[in-house]
Homo-oligomer: A and B are copies of this chain.
């Protein structure tokens, strides 16, 4: 039994999604709290800009919850940068006790999983969960400096510029957007993908592993969820996940599966296989999904952000890309 029930069903009481220009040109534009046209967000470097995205999302989520930063017991988050620097610089400004996470693009789910367990156990009352990514910081770090003008193959994905934040709380006086009911922590699954331009294939087996364990543990099928939401599998990874689940005898109706990387952009936006990055699932959850919960369109979803633990160093040394996926079940407050 790997799936952890949250008996007190901690509340998600607010969310904030701050998105970049390209993300705001896609189908989810109306769901973002703020759109930042300037890639640099008024800062001198992309790394500082990404940190400002996070700080802006975090402070807005806190404000939307009707709280002040000093009322938060803990902030949990991460990003794709070495030493999760965007998160660290944002946490420095916030001044909230801070747990740094590294789960690559699974970070939004990882932070919600940990925060929900800490709230469920009564160890924290209010927790802030945040994740971010930035196209320019990620390309420079993981692939090539943008100035090189490298070509991108069709399997490549587009790192989302944006940050999402949510406040998890045990305070019954705060209205809940939804409640967290179960956590399934991901295992590392590595199917020997070596191509940094094919992250969907590296992550899909991890998503299938987590989803299989989640459904088996709870004696559920995919049909028990309005949506199974993956983070950034993209076209390649989504197709692989659906195939893997079919093969495991636990088919997903494609209409019940939503990949944030595919939802964020239209095919005309030239992102190839779809969006990616910690910010991809973070802005989609904290903007789009929370809005649909609030409008009564969703009753139960599984939010399962996927991460490719790609390291440029070990990739150069010939190693493969480990994948991971953490899942948290969210239900409307009845």
Residues of chain A having any CB pair with chain B under 8 Å: 2, 4, 44-45, 47-48, 73-74, 78, 81-85, 88-89, 91-92, 95-104, 110, 113-114, 117-118, 120-124, 141, 183-188, 190, 309-314, 317, 319, 322, 324
Contact = CB atoms under 8 A, between A and B. Distances in A.
Nearest to A122: B121
Given A117-B121, A141-B313, 12 more contacts: A2-B73, A47-B313, A47-B314, A82-B83, A82-B313, A85-B311, A88-B309, A89-B322, A97-B186, A99-B114, A100-B309, A118-B118
A52 to B, nearest CB: 13
B118 A102 contact: no
Given A97-B185, A313-B47, A322 B121 contact: no
Main secondary structure of the interface of A (DSSP, over half): mixed
A88 B187 CA distance: 10
Nearest to A317: B45
B83 A48 contact: no
A311 B122 contact: no
B311 A92 contact: no
Contacts of A98: 185-188, 324
Contacts of A117: 117-118, 121, 123
Counting chain B CB atoms within 10 Å of each CB, the highest count among A81, A100, A101, A322 belongs to A100
A78 B91 CA distance: 19
Contacts of A122: 121
A88 B188 contact: yes
A124 to B, nearest CB: 7
A82 B190 contact: no
Contacts of A190: 92
Contacts of A186: 97-98
A83 B123 contact: no
A317 B44 contact: yes
A91 B84 CA distance: 19
Nearest to A326: B99
A104 B87 CA distance: 13
B185 A311 contact: no
B124 A121 contact: no
B97 A319 contact: no
B97 A84 contact: no
A48 B280 CA distance: 30
28 contacts: A44-B317, A47-B311, A74-B185, A78-B102, A81-B313, A82-B83, A82-B312, A83-B311, A84-B309, A85-B311, A85-B313, A85-B314, A88-B322, A92-B188, A97-B186, A98-B185, A98-B186, A99-B101, A99-B110, A100-B103, A101-B101, A114-B114, A117-B117, A117-B121, A117-B123, A120-B121, A121-B121, A123-B183
